[in-house]
Structure 1
Amino acid sequence: MNIALWIAQGLLAAVFLGSGFLKSTQTKEKMIATGQTGVAPFPLPVIRVVAALEIAAALGLIVPRLTGIAPVLTPLAAIGLAAVMIGAAVAHWSLREYKQVFGANMLLLLVCLFVALGRF
C-alpha cells in the first residue's frame, strides 16, 4: 500500500507542478489555446492564485512525508488538490465539457482522495 501511495503522490505532484507552472507563466489566451479551457470563466489573478496553490500542494504531497517533518501536511495537500479538482469539474461542466469532467477531473479527484485517505 505504501508503494501505491508513493506512486500516486509522485504522479499527482508531477501533474500539479506542471499545471501550476503553466498557469503561472502563460497568458489566459495561451492556456485556453493549449487545452486548459477550464480557466476560461476566471480572471487571471484567480488563475495565478490557483497556480500557486497547485505548486505548493505538489510540494506538500512529497516533502513532508519524505522528510518526516509535519507528515500530516501530505494528506492535507491531497485534500486541497481534491478541492481544486472539484472547482475544475464545475468550471468544465459550465463550459459543457463533460468528457473533461468525467475523465481527467474525476480521475485526479479519486487519486487525491486515495492519497488523503491512505496517508491519514
Structure 2
Amino acid sequence: MHLALWIAASLLAPVALVGGLTKSFVPRARLAAQHGGEWTANVPPGLVKALGAVELLAAAGLVLPAALGIAPVMVPVTALCWILLMVGAMATHARLNQSKLVAVNVVYLALAAFVAIGRL
C-alpha cells in the first residue's frame, strides 16, 4: 500500500508541476490558443498566475513532506486541496464541452483521493 501511495503521488506531482509552470510562465494569449487552455482568455491574468502558484505548491506538497519526514500530514492536506482544484477544473472544462479533459481530471481526482485517504 505504501508503494502504491508513493506511485500515485509521484504521478500527480509532475502533472501539478507542469501545469503550474505553464500557468506561471507561459503568456496568457499562448495558453488561450492551446486546446484545454481556452478558459484563460476569459479570466484575469492574475488568476491564471495564482492557479499556477497553487499547482507549484501542490507539486511540492504531494511529495516533499513525506520524502523529508517534515510535516507528512501535509501530503493528504495537499491531496484534498488538489481534489478541490480538480472539481473546479472539471466544471470549467465541462462548461466548454471538453469531455476528454473532464475525464482526465476525474482520473487526477481519483489519484488524489487515493493519496488523501491512504495518507490519513
Per the normalisation by structure 1, the TM-score is 0.92
In the alignment, what sits opposite 2:16? Answer: 16
Structure-2 residue corresponding to 1:56: 57
Which residue number in structure 1 is paired with residue 111 of structure 2? 111
Cα separation, 2, equivalents of 1:114 and 1:7:
11
In the TM superposition, residue 31 of structure 1 has moved relative to its aligned partner by: 1.2
**What fraction of aligned residue pairs are identical, expressed as a percent?**
38
Q: List per-residue Cα deviations over 1:53-94 (Å, max 9, x = no partner).
A: 110111011111111111000001111111111110111111
The answer as to 2:48 corresponding to 1:42 is no
How far off is 1:42 after superposition?
2.3
Is the contact between residue 36 and residue 98 of structure 2 (CA under 8 Å) also seen in structure 1? no
Contact 1:39-1:91 at 8 Å conserved across structures: no
Extract structure 1 runs of 4+ deviating beyond 3 A: 38-41
In structure 2, the residue matched to 1:100 is 101
Partner of 1:28: 28
TM-score scaled to structure 2, two decimals? 0.92
Distance (Å, rounded) in 2 between the aligned partners of 1:80 and 1:69:
19
Q: CA RMSD in A?
A: 1.2
Q: Secondary structure at the match of 2:62?
A: helix
> Following the alignment from structure 1 to structure 2, what is the Cα–Cα distance between the partners of residues 82 and 40?
24
Cα distance change on mapping 1:112 and 1:41 into 2, 3 Å: farther
Structure 2 residue identity aligned to 1:113? A
- Segments of structure 2 that go 5 or more residues without pairing to the other structure are none
